[in-house]
Structure 1
Amino acid sequence: MHSHLRTALSAALTATLLATVAAAPAEAHGRGGKPGVIALPDGFQPEGIATAGRYAYFGSRATGAIYRADLLDGDGRVFSPATGTPSLGLKVDRRGRLFVAGGAAGDARVIDTRNGRVLARYQFAAAPTFVNDVVLTERAAYFTDSNKPVLHRLPLGRHGALPPADGFTTIPLTGAFQQVGTGVNANGIVRTPDGRALLIVQSNTGTLFRVDPLTGATTAVDVPGHTFTNGDGLLLDGRKLYVVQNRLNQVAVVALNRSGTAGRLTGTITDPDFDVPTTVAKALGRLYLPNARFTTTPTPTTGYDAVAVSAR
């Protein structure tokens, strides 16, 4: 989910636009009357997505605003305002809290999905950093950093209690994972099917890694004859792993073993509406992917959307 940030002037223009302009009507060509394309505000520059029930949450890499869309009719609004820093990877927990990866700001925020209020903020690292994606477990939230070979761990207390501002730890990645000097390194992150470890994709090498969440020790996942070039967001559904390959405009589908040590490619999802999708979430029996449009020069009037496809 890595991209070049816009200039301060452009971000300010976009923030103003988001405060005043609603998204265009969604295109309705999906199953059961649900829209197949969800329109987002012009100039939004989406990157991350999280879903909860009938709603999807999208983060702006330009301004940090969070947009909530109703997946049944496509209506939506900006419900958490611009921060001036990116909002990239997103996850919603069962308590209705949205965990947000802050990109080059090196931070994370936790937002109340009922009212858009920021519940907590954590400053993980200083530049060069790119806090890219997040996964939730019962005991912690783990964030990847595309510019550093580490995971940032945010421990959760009893009943999911959030830690104080300095209550996080940084776990070095060791073993098979090696930081490469150019491009995006660690990116999307999910749990293994058995829940005992984590999986990350390294975008610039196309390699999947299994990570011990306690020690940071990594091993490469054996997917014979395949790598995941431009691998971005990940989604685990049972033992099925979806790997978004952003600039290839496709999603690789991998059948994993329970421990996540090995898998096999079972298919590839493409769609004519894909325009550099970055991340993926599942809701209402479908997969939803925001189009980041990295190959299109962003302006305050550039159109953005998210695409719904069948889960396979």
Structure 2
Amino acid sequence: MFTTRARWLAGGIVAALVLSPSVPAGAHYRRPVGRYVVPGDRAYPEGIVREPGTPYFYVGGMTDGTIWRGRIDQPRLEVFLPGGQDGRTSAVGMKITQGRLVVAGGTTGKVFVYRTRDRQLLHVFDSGARDGLVNDVAVAPNGDAYVTDSFRPVLYRITAAQLAKREIDQPLRTHVDFAGTPVRYDTGVNEEGINGNGLVVTPDGRFVLMADTNSQAFYRISTRTGAVDPIDLGGVTDIGADGLLLRDGTLYSVTSVFHPEGEISVLRLSKDYSRAQVQRRINGRGMDFPSTAAFDGDDLLVVNFQFQKAEPALPFTVVRVSLCTTAGLR
């Protein structure tokens, strides 16, 4: 993801991160595998989401918008939605809510929504901007969806009421304009202008927590007022803020900014989400320039994006990384 801005604008995308519940107790599937193959030598898989109550997970392709579906007990993914369909030429961050797959469309400036049961297109939310990078999606407890744009300094919101409408074509509206806030959109460590990136919504629905890749920072954004505050990291500056997950007061940041072999930073949040302390780092374990991940029980399913490499190591893969072992920590 840190090549040239022109390459990004040609079909680019960055990280997106996913939070999804694990398979419920009593569900019976074969033993999960540790490595999943994404078909295609130009796939560049970027986003991932785990569908609750099923054996399925979904992965999006940055370069042409293909969406693959995998089973946790089978080693190879299959095409779920072909690239280019419905004008979906890039697929980045994803979430699932009430059987609807919500997909950030990268440089299309759009968000696409599909019903997972029958693959039907339900909505296309269009920002109208073609100079942005619609990157990641997070769903609040009330059903609203928040969406980052890595090139344009805004946070979008799709309301639960919009998602419930029968109307397919709808506007993607700005919820927070970052002008005049602590968030600064400009070039940084990646030299690409990749700013607002992964995001999650807190369980109480009060805040969006957003990663800023350029500044290596995290921000707390009020869903009610739009007020933006930096999250105090205690002076730590090498986390590599990218795709995010949140569970039980712990924030997980998946990145390759400082570690091509992949790094998951595990941070404990204060009760008001204003502070975060690094507890540990997870490196390696089959990761290779990863972009994002999804929870699967006590594991993460990590996407090996590899967009930064001149020649990716084939095949493209999703790897299972356990959060329960101390192996590989520093």
State TM-score, norm by structure 2: 0.80
| Aligned match for 1:191, one of 201, 211, 228 | 201
**Helix, strand or coil: the match of 2:170?**
coil
Could you give the per-residue CA deviations for residues 168-219 of structure 1, whole angstroms, max 9, x where no partner exists? 4202124221222452000000013543111001001100000112333210
Structure with the bigger RCO (C-alpha within 8 Å, sep 6+) is 2
1:251 aligns with 2:257: no
Q: CA separation of 1:205/1:194 partners in 2, compared to 1, >3 Å: closer, same or farther? A: same
Inter-partner Cα distance in structure 2 for 1:291 and 1:210: 28
Inter-partner Cα distance in structure 1 for 2:51 and 2:34: 18
Inter-partner Cα distance in structure 2 for 1:107 and 1:298: 29
Inter-partner Cα distance in structure 1 for 2:161 and 2:197: 26
Q: Matches of residues 269-280 of structure 1 in structure 2 within 5 Å?
A: 269-280=282-293
Equivalent residue, structure 2, for 1:147: 151
Structure 1 runs of 4+ aligned residues shifted over 3 Å read 1-8
| Aligned match for 1:118, one of 116, 121, 134 | 121
Query: What RMSD, in angstroms, separates the aligned Cα atoms of the two structures?
Result: 2.4
Can you give the 5+ residue segments of structure 2 that lack an aligned partner in the other structure? Answer: 12-29, 325-330
Inter-partner Cα distance in structure 1 for 2:45 and 2:231: 29
Residue pair 2:69, 2:77 contacting (<8 A) in 1 also = yes
Inter-partner Cα distance in structure 1 for 2:171 and 2:132: 19
| Aligned match for 1:203, one of 199, 202, 213 | 213
Residue pair 1:244, 1:250 contacting (<8 A) in 2 also = yes
1:56 is displaced (CA, Å) by 1.1
Inter-partner Cα distance in structure 1 for 2:128 and 2:2: 17
1:285 is displaced (CA, Å) by 2.6
| Aligned match for 2:111, one of 108, 112, 116 | 108
Q: Matches of residues 44-59 of structure 1 in structure 2 within 5 Å?
A: 44-53=43-52, 54-59=55-60
Q: Matches of residues 1-312 of structure 1 in structure 2 within 5 Å?
A: 4-5=7-8, 33-43=31-41, 44-53=43-52, 54-83=55-84, 85-93=89-97, 95-137=98-140, 138-157=142-161, 161-162=164-165, 164=167, 165-170=169-174, 171-173=176-178, 174-181=180-187, 182-247=192-257, 248=259, 249-297=262-310, 302-312=314-324
Residue pair 1:155, 1:167 contacting (<8 A) in 2 also = no
State TM-score, norm by structure 1: 0.84
Inter-partner Cα distance in structure 1 for 2:83 and 2:117: 17
Q: CA separation of 1:145/1:7 partners in 2, compared to 1, >3 Å: closer, same or farther? A: closer
Inter-partner Cα distance in structure 1 for 2:280 and 2:321: 14
Residue pair 2:123, 2:170 contacting (<8 A) in 1 also = no
Inter-partner Cα distance in structure 2 for 1:60 and 1:231: 21
